[in-house]
Chains A and B, each alone.
Chain A
Amino acid sequence: MSFLEIHVDEKRFGERVVLRDLHLALERGEIASLVGASGCGKSTLLSIVAGLDRQARARVRLDGAAADAGGSVEGGIGFVFQEPRLFPWLDVASNVAFGSTAGAGGLRDVDALLDEVGLAGYGAHLPRQLSGGQAQRVAIARGLYTRPRVLLMDEPFSAVDAITRMKLQDMLARVARERGLTVLLVTHDIDEAVHLSDHVILLDRQPGPLRSRLPVGLARPRARGDAAASRLKAEILALLDLDADAARAAAA
């Protein structure tokens, strides 16, 4: 049995079936990217795993136990959304510690967490005083606050500029490695998927079992623009049939 087991029997939006008979398993410490066309159910799958979608017929098991207790549980499943979704009336430290409950240690670890995501000294800032990249770092720190064993990330870097995105990707790779985190990342960015992941999982537009699970197999830390990474990117693009010409060009 794998560390994280996800079984979705069926998920519908009205008459439309989005996910069906999908089984996904991740090992402890693995980083996997979910890639696929818009509307194929990637974000829905993350919502199901996080326990945000109670209508789906699905089972999630974490380390052999049912994980439906949800994302906020200590050592459970953390979530980072596409947008930072910070509470504008709370300062950075309180946003990070939003998952704390009374008597659970209050703002413990916040300074260390902010240091870890490169925001040391920002605890008293309000969200409006942060750049987009800084706000997303705070969201990642919040996702890590409850010391999750699994971190779900829904296109977490899509709203930031290219340079910031690369810095955030490197930060995530470092934090995940240091903490032994299992990460399931939804992304539209194939470069990001190849740079960060141990496996790239392709989700088909048609609901059904997973089509492809490609091992990345590149040594870490990874250099950007690596030839092997480019070949893998071309392979993924070809499988997605997004742009056959681009795929051929990249392969060449």
Chain B
Amino acid sequence: MTARALARLAALTLPRPRGLRRLLPGRFPLALVLPALLLVGAELSVRAGWLPANLMPPPSEVARTLAWLAENGLGVHLVASTLRVALGFVCGAGAAVLLGALVALDRRVQALLDPTLQALRAIPSLAWVPLLLLWFGIDELPKLVLIAIGAFFPVYTGVVSGFGGVDRKLVEVARLYRLAPLALVRRVLLPAALPAILTGLRTGLSLAWMFMVAAELIAATRGLGYLLSDGRETSRADIVLAAIVLLALLGKLSDMGMVALERRLLAWRDDFAASRAGVER
């Protein structure tokens, strides 16, 4: 085979960069393209005077504010918010898993609880805020309860639909082997329902962050929601944007954790998502 023919063959078989990829250097992650474009666009727009700097500080100034905050108690705010989300999420999701499993597995419990829980689900969760403040004051408890309420319903729905959607034929195999009720849950129902449960947990976690902000905006002396409120009251848009950036980063980090957990626990799945992720077949 001649060198020319070899080159032609290589051109046919090697993957060629297409579209956007051709314009990007080396291994630049596609996920960063849009944020990078937005940052550069905002910086240029403010510097050119197209956007008012007092309302839309340039990213470079937001970065400076973040650095200043890091040296002036940012850690306290981060820890406070993260702890609230973690505690509220664990309580809300834990209760949702327990109640969801009971509702899904026992028709009498379902008849007793599900209609009421569905009615409660229809209430916009922020409507609970005045009542929670009346009941628990402005301390930590109302914040945790609000976050737990936010996390509860997506997880509850995921658990109920997950258990309800388990393939009847797999349950029949378990019945053939005379599995005791607890073994049936542990060995068949729970693993089969896991995809829906994890989706519920993921949605619940993102809602927990959302409700943490709502709770801290109302009454807090520390936390990212407090920073947002403080920035608004002192007309410091740079602090507001810095807090928003931190919320985005923390939300994304926790979501990445959930995705990693999902990948690990659901490696057995044979679906479109797994095939796109390049799971070995």
Contact = CB atoms under 8 A, between A and B. Distances in A.
A98 B173 contact: yes
A52 B194 CA distance: 26
A52 B268 contact: no
Given A87-B191, A88-B268, A88-B269, A79 B176 contact: yes
Given A85-B170, A87-B170, A128-B281, A71 B270 contact: no
A85 B173 contact: yes
Interface string B181-224: 00000011001101000000000000000000000000000000
What band does the interface of chain A fall in when counting residues whose beta carbon is under 8 Å from B?
20 to 34
B177 interface: yes
A99 interface: yes
Interface residues of B, number: 18
| Interface of B (DSSP majority class) | helix
A123 to B, nearest CB: 15
A52 B177 contact: no
Contact of B281 (A73, A87, A129): A129
A154 to B, nearest CB: 11
Interface in B149-196: 169-170, 172-173, 175-178, 187-188, 191-192, 194
A10 interface: no
A119 interface: no
B270 A87 contact: no
Contacts of A99: 177
A85 B191 contact: no
A128 B268 contact: yes
B269 A85 contact: no
Contacts of A170: none
A70 B180 CA distance: 13
A29 B270 CA distance: 39
8 contacts: A52-B175, A85-B170, A85-B172, A87-B173, A89-B192, A89-B268, A98-B177, A128-B269
Interface of A: 50-52, 70-73, 79, 81, 83, 85, 87-90, 98-99, 126-129
Given A72-B177, A89-B268, A128-B268, 5 more contacts: A52-B176, A85-B172, A87-B170, A98-B173, A99-B177
